Chain A
Amino acid sequence: MSAATPGSPHSHGNVNSVLTIDSAIVDAIVAHARRDHPDEACGVVAGPIGSDLPTRLIPMDNAARSMTFYEFDSMEQLRVWREMDDNDEEPVVIYHSHTATEAYPSRTDISFAGEPGAHYVLVSTRESDSEEIRSFRIVDGVVTEEEINIVDATVDA
C-alpha cells in the first residue's frame, strides 16, 4: 500500500487523500456486509476528533432492511452520535454495502452525504467469493475517490 500523499492546500482540515484503517476493522466491515447480504449493511467507525484514524467500529441497523437502500435508525443514531460526543470522537468512516452493484456512491448516496469530514466506505458483496472495498470523500455533491491504506495494529488490542 502506498503512503499518504500530502493534503492539498484546499483540503478540509485533517482530510488526507488516503484512508488509513486497521485490517481488523476492514475485516469486520466486510463480515457485517456479508452477514446482512442481500440487504445493505451500514455503520460507522468512530475515531478521536481530529485524528482521522478510525478506531471504534459501530455496526448500525439498516432501518430500511432493503437490498437497495439503507437508513440509520434515527434513535440509534442519536444515541451513537451522543456517545461519540462524550468520548471526544467523530464519525471518521461511514460505511455501507451495495449488494448487486459496484462499490461506488450512487446518486442517492451523494445526495444524502451529510458528514463532510467522513470517509465514505463502500463494500460490494455482489461477488460471493471476493469483495470490492473503496473509499470516497463526498463534499458538496462532489465525489473524490481515495486510496485505502490497510495497516495492522493501529488499534490497541
Chain B
Amino acid sequence: MAIEVRVPTILRSYTGGAKTVEGAGETLTALIDDLDAKHKGLKGRLITPEGGLHRFVNIYVNDEDVRFLGALDAKLSDGDSITILPAVAGGALGFAAAAALLGRPSKHLAAAVSTKG
C-alpha cells in the first residue's frame, strides 16, 4: 500500500531533503510509524509526547484536514495523498494561552478565542 506524503521545508532535514516520500498504513498513526522507521525523528515533529497531533503542523488527507477526519485515527487508503504543512499561527497572546487553544479545529478555535476577549 503506497501513500504519497508531501513534506514541508522545515521537516526535510528528516527526509534527506526529499519533498515527497512514500509510506504505508491503514491509519494516520500507522503511516506516521512507518515514516518514522525510514525517517527517524519525524514522528516527534508530528505527534506530541502525550500522543496527540502536534499543534505546529497541519496534516491533510487528500483535500481534508485530518482534524476533521478523526485526527490520528483517520483511515487511509492506497493512493491517498498526504500533505504536511507548518501551521501558520502566532500573535501577541502568551504562548501557554495560545497553545491551549490550538490542536483543535479552526472552526472551534475562533469561538474559543472570541470568548476570551
Contacts and interface: CB of A to CB of B under 8 A. Distances in A.
Does B associate with A? yes
Interface of A: 40, 42, 44, 60, 63-75, 77-78, 81, 94, 96, 98-101, 105-109, 111-117
Interface residues of B, number: 36
B87 A106 contact: no
Nearest to A71: B89
Interface of B: 8-10, 56-58, 60, 63, 65, 67, 83, 85-95, 97-99, 101-102, 105-107, 109-110, 113-114, 116-117
Contact of B110 (A63, A94, A105, A107): A63
A106 to B, nearest CB: 5
- The interface centre, meaning the residue of B56, B65, B91 with most chain A CB atoms within 10 A of its CB, is B91
Interface of chain B, helix or strand or loop or mixed? Answer: mixed
Given A71-B102, A78-B83, A106-B93, A42 B109 contact: no
A71 B92 contact: no
Contacts of B60: 74, 78
Contacts of A81: 83, 85
